[in-house]
Structure 1
Amino acid sequence: MKRRWLFGTALGLLAGIGITGVRPRIVHAPEVISTTKRLQLTLKDVLKSNHVNGILLIGSDDTPTVIQNSLVGANSQRVVSSHRYFPTASLQKLLTGLAIYTLVKEGKLSVNTTLATYYPQVAHAKEITIGWLMSHTSGLADTQTVAPRVLMSQSEQVKYSLAHYKSSGKETWNYSNIDYVLLAAIVSKVSGESYDQFVRDKILAPWGIKEIKPFSALKASQVSKSLLPTASWTSLRRAMSATFGAGNYLATPVGYWQLISHLMDDQAASTWLHKYADQKTVSYFGGIYFSGNSFHANGGYAGYSAIASGDFSTQQRMIFFTNNINLGTAKTIRTQLNRYYYSKLAQELD
């Protein structure tokens, strides 16, 4: 009787641990999230928490990681996507700065060349140098930045800016489009071809960049539409046509990523820009701000904000485009993004 009881008890124990087919409870180990994934989720959360309709490109080489946050339907033209054109506004100033660098490198221009050499009619042109224009210390200021109609030709655009500026005659910092309008016009005069042709032949084509173009080469259907109802294609073109060489180009996020990547790869160009920026009170030259080994550039129109940045020591770079946040707010969001991206966490990428 005792043996039967022991045998039955043993069978019961075996059944409890699954020998008779009863499945044991499985305890799953917690998912291990890589440093890379953790960083991407953190940056995505910054976009979501700020209700950004836009895109973020990050990385340290020619191929970026894309982080997108959309507040609209996936098929909408209001989505900011990798290959849809976006108004870069003042981010174009880097292109103009690189065009001037190219002419200096070819021995056709100097940072000490005076504006009077090409535009003697500008007030105080004999004192203003190419370097002053490149660093926004010319004393020139815009009096109007939106044309009454869309100006399609280079000559119309330059003529408009030359009719809407003022000059203090002092070498003081003042961020203005007229500085880069004049630089772009000088590029054309020195090279003997249009600004667009020079930029295409000397910068974009050699670097294999196809997705950066003037507004006159694009249709509305190719451009990310702002979520602001007042920001129409016509009003955007009126603003762009008044900022020749300073904000009349559009780029896809990938296209601008290529431009930033080539700047970081071209040590001679980046060193030249950095050298002259460090000689000014505000460390700005050729379209970008410098701070130690890092740089950034900002640009915005009504309904559009575009920001680019990078670190020459780590080779990290970032592009941030949004079409529902004003530039002031976008800069605040950039500070949040920088806190995570240009940090020890990002440097520990798997």
Structure 2
Amino acid sequence: MLEQHHKMMESVAITKNGEKVYSRSIGFANVEKKKKANEKTKYRIGSITKSFTATVILQLIDEGKLTLNTNLAEFYPEIVNASEITIQQLLNHHSGLFNFTSAEDYLSINTKALSKEELLAIIKKNGKAFEPGEKGEYSNTNYLLLTFISEDLDKDSFANILEKRIFKPLKLKNTQVGEKINSKKNEAFSYSRKMGARKKEQETHMSIPLGAGNIISTPTDIAKFYTALLEGKLLSPGSLLNMKIFEDSFGLGLFQLPYNENRAYGHTGGIDGFLSMAGYFPNEKMAFILTSNGSSINLNDVALGVLAIYFKDNYQLPQYEEEVVLSMEILTSYEGVYGNDTFSLDISVTNDDGDLMAQATGQSSFKLTPTSKNTFVFKPAGIKITFKNDILSIEQAEMTHALTKK
């Protein structure tokens, strides 16, 4: 159904006791060449990489090469607050360092190679978002620094460190540090869907995300990793316990993924047009992995459906409407700023290369999905918008407001 209605291209795997229970791939690894995805297609897994990086750092701790309380200043004293930031705070996003991928100019630099020195200069320039330990806030910067620290201690490249410490021991034959995407090696490109067609997304240069998001893999390989990790085959009991201590919802390279009374440990990922989710349920000894290279729906909704079927819970397959494709001329005609004297916010509507985007004053923009020539929805917030004669009617929670184009 997801494939039929062009909602997602993905691969999914479920394992129990280390054995494959279910595996399926839908969509294309290469749309242009109509190359179908299969069980061995490799996807960029984004921030799931952080679980691998955290494992390497905790292995180094197990070997006595550093501790969770070691200060960043022992490696990179030039970074702001380095004498106060600990390894633990880097691992669980409490360092206060600004997230470098949130910088305004990030999308103008992320497709070209950057050296370690250039990345450190960016980190130094961006500075801090808050004081160390003040709170938890996700920052990819933390895991760039952890990558460099692992290389300093192991005196090797991050790719080689992962290979000898994790990939080779677990026989993860389809997992590696990514480079430029190579379709001939069964590596997937990522896509967005615009104007009724798939559009290839840009490629982040993999010299940039490093241990924050530079691994490519398959669902079955990722399942092997999380199963081995959470069954204690990669870390000492103490380090594994520390990894699963959560502060402000952050573990050491892990998230908690709840499903009813069950709880999985894992991570999510997103890079370019790739999305991924991985979790391991210790009580069930079950791992579930989703990797996508093109989605127009929420990956979490798909995960909930997969888990409901696995746990034999009541689940009704969603009904998807037929895709509506509108011309650029129609979409452009709806552009403008809409408002009235009684509605507290103006709504700005723009046509972003075939995606109609709406943004209320001071809020984030969101994509409108067409259901007819002049009606659009944003399902996550229960919003329906209708355009007619320069009037934008917005319906939400049984309230309707008519806004006029200014």
Work out which of the residue numbers 303, 308, 330 in structure 1 matches 2:278: 308
* Distance in 1 (alpha carbons) for counterparts of 2:110 and 2:162: 25
Moved more, 116-125 or 248-257: 248-257
Q: 1:48 to 1:261 in 2, by over 3 A?
A: farther
The question of 1:269 aligning with 2:226 is answered no
8 Å CA contact retained: 1:305, 1:321: yes
Asked whether 1:181 is paired with 2:148, we answer: no
- Larger Cα-atom Rg: 1
1:219 to partner: Cα distance = 2.5
Is the CA contact 1:177–1:246 (under 8 Å) kept in the aligned structure 2?
Answer: yes
Counterpart secondary structure, 1:225: coil
**Partner of residue 289, structure 2:** 319
Structure 2 Cα separation of the partners of residues 217 and 116 of structure 1: 33
Structure 1 stretch displaced more, 163-172 or 177-186: 163-172
Instruction: Select the residue among 6, 24, 33 that pairs with 1:68.
Output: 24
CA 159–124 in structure 1, closer or farther in 2 if over 3 Å, else same: closer
Q: Which amino acid aligns with 1:60?
A: K
Higher mean C-alpha deviation, range 335-344 or range 197-206: 335-344
1:335 is aligned, of 304, 314, 317, to: 304
Alignment check: 8 A CA contact 1:165 1:178 kept: no
Residue type at the aligned position of 1:94: S
Mapped to 1, the partners of 2:117 and 2:251 lie a distance apart of: 29
Alignment-derived partner of residue 204 in structure 2: 237
CA RMSD of aligned residues (A): 3.1
- Measured against aligned partners, the alpha-carbon deviations of 1:306-346 in whole angstroms (never above 9, x if no partner) come to 110111111011011112216x711232223233324579x
Q: Higher helix fraction: Structure 1 or Structure 2?
A: 1
**1:261 CA displacement:** 2.4
Check whether the contact 1:60–1:315 (CA below 8 A) recurs between aligned residues: yes
1:194 corresponds to:
157
The alpha-carbon deviation at position 161 of structure 1 amounts to 4.7
Q: 1:224 aligns with which of 181, 188, 191?
A: 188
Task: Name stretches of at least 5 consecutive residues in structure 1 with no aligned partner.
Answer: 1-44, 346-350
Q: 1:59 aligns with which of 10, 15, 20?
A: 15
- Equivalent positions of 1:67-216 (< 5 A) are 67-71=23-27, 79-143=36-100, 144=103, 145-146=106-107, 148=109, 150-152=111-113, 155=116, 158-159=119-120, 161-163=122-124, 165-167=126-128, 168-171=130-133, 172-216=135-179
Paired residue type of 1:255: D
Tell me how far 1:64 sits from its aligned partner: 1.6
1:296 paired with 2:266, answer yes
Size of the alignment, in residue pairs?
297
Percent identity of the aligned residues?
Answer: 20
Partners of 1:226 and 1:218 in 2: CA distance = 10
- In 2, Cα distance between the equivalents of 1:281 and 1:288? 11
The C-alpha deviation readout for 1:7-55, integer Å capped at 9, x for no partner, is xxxxxxxxxxxxxxxxxxxxxxxxxxxxxxxxxxxxxx67878833212
SS of residue paired to 2:256: strand
Higher relative contact order by CA 8 Å / sep ≥ 6: 1 or 2?
1
Q: Secondary structure at the match of 1:140?
A: coil
Q: Which residue of 1 aligns with 2:355?
A: none
Distance 1:63 1:276, change over 3 A: closer
Distance 1:281 1:159, change over 3 A: closer
Do the aligned partners of residues 161 and 247 (structure 1) sit closer, same or farther apart at CA in structure 2, a change above 3 Å counting?
Answer: farther
The alignment's TM-score, normalised by the length of structure 1, stands at 0.74
Question: Is the 8 Å Cα contact of residues 55 and 234 (structure 2) preserved in structure 1?
Answer: no
Structure 2 gap segments, 5+ residues each: 193-197, 315-406
CA contact (8 A) 2:29 2:188 kept: no
Cα shift at 1:262: 1.6
Q: Structure 1 residue 284 and structure 2 residue 247: aligned? A: no
Q: Note the C-alpha offset of 1:156.
A: 5.5
Give the structure-2-normalised TM-score. 0.65
Instruction: Report which stretch shifted further, 193-202 or 283-292.
Output: 283-292
8 Å Cα contact 1:85-1:250 kept in structure 2: yes
Contact 2:73 2:83 in 1 (8 A): yes
In 2, are the aligned partners of 1:147 and 1:241 still within 8 Å (CA)?
A: no
Contact 1:112/1:130 (8 A) holds in 2:
yes
